[in-house]
């Protein structure tokens, strides 16, 4: 039977792994980008990102000094009896993982007004940083799959959620997404970036689908739509670290949800940095 302490322990381990390890598809994507790159400056940046990832994994160091805000995606099987206190244990595991990492102390102290102005300062406890509201999905089977993602601050500055008037044309919406990607990539700095989009019926749904795209995206499995966006934004030539080159975008992840009969589509974009997605998964056999 799945116990409370196991949930805490495995959640903490998953958070640390998300923060310190490149997944195989990330490594492969970087190697492919290096092989295709002509610019010596861009090659130098891409090679250094891979070397940074190797050191981070071997020494269990954070991939980036901005250790990020935990975002959790939980898939619960139809036949699963969720243990009592599961989500409380997950939150405790997040705090334990942040302390073990350690995460950058970023929890803002104070009441609602004080947290907005940051006038009370920050907590010294890395574990005081609460995760974002957990995204939950129903799936088949008996297990619970936990995905932990760490979201840095830079991409949030460049992100956007807004309606797009589709005019009954896929190209109209996609061209707007490409324009957002070009604009954000030019300003991000930490290139190559990862473009992540959710397309839904409301601001909430589009943002939730964007989180799901980040949780499920794979650099080695790209749809024609994802490849199209990547290829066009790469034509801008900003390149790694903005030094010019062929790889401004390492890959694109898109999740399209249900749509309503209306003149708009709501698009949410997250423009992830060169270490994104910082992601790891664990499956609890409940």
Please tell me what DSSP assigns to residue 108. B
What is the average pLDDT across 5-23?
Answer: 99
Region 227-255: what's the mean pLDDT? 98
Residue-wise pLDDT tens digits, 157-190: 999 999 999 999 999 999 999 999 999 999 999 9
Indicate left, alpha or beta for 239 from its phi (over 0: left) and psi (-120 to 50: alpha): left
Q: Considering the chain, what is the average pLDDT of its residues?
A: 98
Is the pLDDT score of 1 beyond 90?
A: no
Query: Averaged over 258-266, what is the pLDDT?
Result: 97
How far CA 25 is from CA of 6, 30, 53, 80, 125, in Å, comes to: 28, 9, 13, 30, 33
The CA R_g of the chain, rounded to the nearest whole Å, is 19
Pair type for strands 249-256 and 278-284? unpaired
Q: How many residues does the chain have?
A: 286
Main-chain phi, psi angles of 171, to 5 degrees: -60, -35
Range of the domain at 275: 4-284
* Domains identified in the chain, total number: 1
Q: What is the value of pTM for the model shown?
A: 0.96
Of the pLDDT bands very low, low, confident and very high (cuts 50, 70, 90), residue 246 is very high
At 286 the pLDDT is 76
């Amino acid at each position: 039977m799945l116990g409370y302490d196991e949930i805490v322990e495995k959640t903490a381990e998953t958070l640390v792994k998300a923060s310190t390890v490149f997944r195989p598809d990330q490594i492969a994507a970087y190697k492919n980008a290096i092989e295709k790159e002509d610019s010596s400056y861009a090659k130098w940046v891409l090679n250094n990102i891979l070397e940074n990832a190797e050191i981070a994994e071997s020494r269990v160091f954070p991939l980036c000094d901005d250790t990020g805000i935990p975002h959790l995606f939980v898939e619960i099987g139809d036949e699963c009896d969720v243990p009592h206190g599961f989500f409380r244990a997950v939150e405790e595991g997040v705090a334990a993982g942040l302390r073990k990492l350690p995460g950058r102390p970023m929890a803002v102290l104070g009441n609602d007004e004080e947290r907005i102005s940051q006038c009370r300062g920050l907590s010294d406890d890395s574990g005081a940083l609460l995760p974002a509201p957990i995204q939950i999905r129903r799936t088949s089977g008996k297990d619970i799959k936990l995905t932990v993602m760490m979201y840095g601050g830079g991409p949030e500055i460049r992100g956007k959620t807004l309606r797009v008037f589709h005019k009954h044309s896929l190209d109209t919406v996609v061209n707007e997404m490409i324009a957002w990607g070009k604009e954000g990539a030019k300003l991000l700095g930490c290139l190559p970036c990862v473009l992540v989009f959710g397309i839904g019926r409301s601001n909430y749904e589009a943002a939730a689908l964007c989180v799901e795209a980040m949780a499920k995206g794979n650099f080695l499995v790209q749809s024609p739509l994802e490849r199209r966006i990547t290829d066009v934004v790469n034509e801008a030539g900003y390149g790694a670290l903005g030094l010019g080159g062929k790889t401004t975008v390492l890959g694109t992840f898109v999740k399209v949800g249900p749509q309503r009969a209306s003149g708009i589509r709501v698009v949410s974009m997250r423009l992830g940095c060169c270490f994104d997605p910082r992601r790891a998964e664990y499956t609890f056999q409940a």
